[in-house]
A and B are shown apart, each in its own frame.
Chain A
Amino acid sequence: MGLLSKKDSKLILDPLADNNPITIQVLGICSALAITAELKASIVMGLSVMAVLAIGNVVISLMRNIIPSKIRIIVQLVVVAALVIIVDLVLKAYSYQLSKTLSVFVGLIITNCIIMGRFEAFALANGPWRSFLDGIGNAAGYALILVIVGFFRELLGSGTLLGFKVLGDPIEKKGLYALGYENNGFMLLSPMALIVVGIIIWVQRSRNKALIEDH
């Protein structure tokens, strides 16, 4: 990170592990879990949130001195909603099939607590460049968890990654399936997303004892 000072690179790297938005700050779980049955959808969702959060953070940070604090929530919602409409239209134009899979969850980026949380906690008190980095960092932390969950759910649930059959062909009994391996269809159902995130939290907290809660 030659380009960035030490303080700035901390803004990006912190949310990736020790201050992860999903596993530590408990933000943005709402729209994250339902779409992680496929790796591709998780990646696109992560990128959409990154675009909205980075640009939104900059916009709010530029306006932070002229927003009256009483109506700031409505102003923030309007900024996010406008950005999400752009993302939604772009997705519909370039990858219609995927936007059907994501259905209402693109719209739900508006109420994704990560976005409001970062606006409130960071963009309202910091300059545009630092807010931009904070947005990228937090969205990357969010995308990281999404990609991990999507990876395991797609691999174990349908035996594919990004649509490629990495474990062989289940119908012609090739690859791993020749040995009698079966896909675990349960991984594709939504409850398993919660359990996978629970396991990620378990692993993370057993590696870093400082994060353990006392109840």
Chain B
Amino acid sequence: MEHLELFLKSIFIDNMVFATFLGMCSFLAVSKKVSTAVGLGAAVIFVMLITVPLNWLLDHYLLQPGALAWLGEEYADYDLSFLSFIMFIATIATMVQLVEIVVEKFSPSLYNSLGIFLPLIAVNCAILGGSLFMQSREIPTLGLATVYGIGSGIGWFLAILSIAAIREKIRYSNVPAPLRGLGITFIITGLMAIGFMSFGGMLTGGDEKPKEEQKATVTKQENNTTPSNEVKNSEEKTKEKVLANNIKVNE
């Protein structure tokens, strides 16, 4: 249950883009077409899935105060946590290179679709942010760290996919000239972030009696997710309708 909760939380409530603004650079630069957005999003999920658990292991067996105790007693009071930035970014950069080589060797078709995006990912703030949040939120087990990594990746994927879809449509509407391109994308992202804030209530129900009502809250959560997704879909549909009307008017 913990795992499911963290999974949903990292996708919707702590969404990398809408709650913490991580990975904004590539989010804005690569969201002009849905197909490229899907490629980059998939690459991010893939790399997050590998680097967050790997950095968790590094953090727990190398960097934390007392983490070196497995080497012997005289190492037990070492604290290397000041090295975590450099270790995390080195892991990420080497993993990205390694993943690139492995994927190229074993799945050329996947490599062709991800290819150009993989090197970009080393400097995507969402990836390093995932590892740093994993450290600062003190995620306790390797399993949870994996779930957190993949959840954050999916959240980022969802965000870039939806903004790319909106940007493809917005080309047909009459945006004030100075706002065209970057400006309107910022404002749309802001509005989407406000929309995502409504997911914040998803996991707060049922805190008073956690043990007895655990099952009930879980079903509640699931009930909560589906209607809000539907609401989002219908919102998008109405947006598209409005856009379609605009196109007709322009014609």
Chain B residues with Cβ below 8 Å from A23 are: 182
From B25, B132, B193, A26 is in contact (CB under 8 Å) with: B25
Q: Are B22 and A191 in contact (CB under 8 A)?
A: no
Cα–Cα distance between A174 and B164 once the two chains are bound (Å): 47
Interface string of A172-187 (1 = CB under 8 A from B): 0000000000000000
| A112 with B125, Cβ < 8 A, contacts A191-B194, A194-B189 known | yes
Q: Are B122 and A73 in contact (CB under 8 A)?
A: yes
The interface stretch among B48-56, B61-69, B81-89 is B81-89
Q: Are A213 and B180 in contact (CB under 8 A)?
A: yes
Q: Are B24 and A104 in contact (CB under 8 A)?
A: no
Q: Are A191 and B128 in contact (CB under 8 A)?
A: no
Closest Cβ–Cβ distance, residue B235 to chain A (whole Å): 16
Interface positions, chain B 109-148, Cβ under 8 Å from A, are 119, 122-129, 132-133, 136
Cα–Cα distance between A32 and B21 once the two chains are bound (Å): 8
Chain A residues with Cβ below 8 Å from B194 are: 189, 191
The interface stretch among A3-11, A53-61, A129-137, A197-205 is A197-205
A29 within 8 Å of B (CB atoms) = yes
B244 within 8 Å of A (CB atoms) = no
Closest Cβ–Cβ distance, residue A154 to chain B (whole Å): 18
Using a Cβ cutoff of 8 Å, how many contacts connect chains A and B? 145
Q: Are A30 and B182 in contact (CB under 8 A)?
A: no
Chain A residues with Cβ below 8 Å from B197 are: 189, 191
Q: Are B82 and A195 in contact (CB under 8 A)?
A: no
Q: Are B125 and A215 in contact (CB under 8 A)?
A: no
Closest Cβ–Cβ distance, residue A148 to chain B (whole Å): 14
Mostly, the A contact residues are helix
Interface string of B173-203 (1 = CB under 8 A from A): 0001111111110110111011001000000
Q: Are A213 and B182 in contact (CB under 8 A)?
A: yes
B23 within 8 Å of A (CB atoms) = yes
From B82, B171, B179, B187, A194 is in contact (CB under 8 Å) with: B187
Closest Cβ–Cβ distance, residue B117 to chain A (whole Å): 14
From A26, A30, A198, B23 is in contact (CB under 8 Å) with: A30
Cα–Cα distance between A20 and B165 once the two chains are bound (Å): 28
B interface vs A, CB < 8 Å? 18-25, 28-29, 82-86, 89-90, 93-94, 119, 122-129, 132-133, 136, 171, 176-184, 186-187, 189-191, 193-194, 197
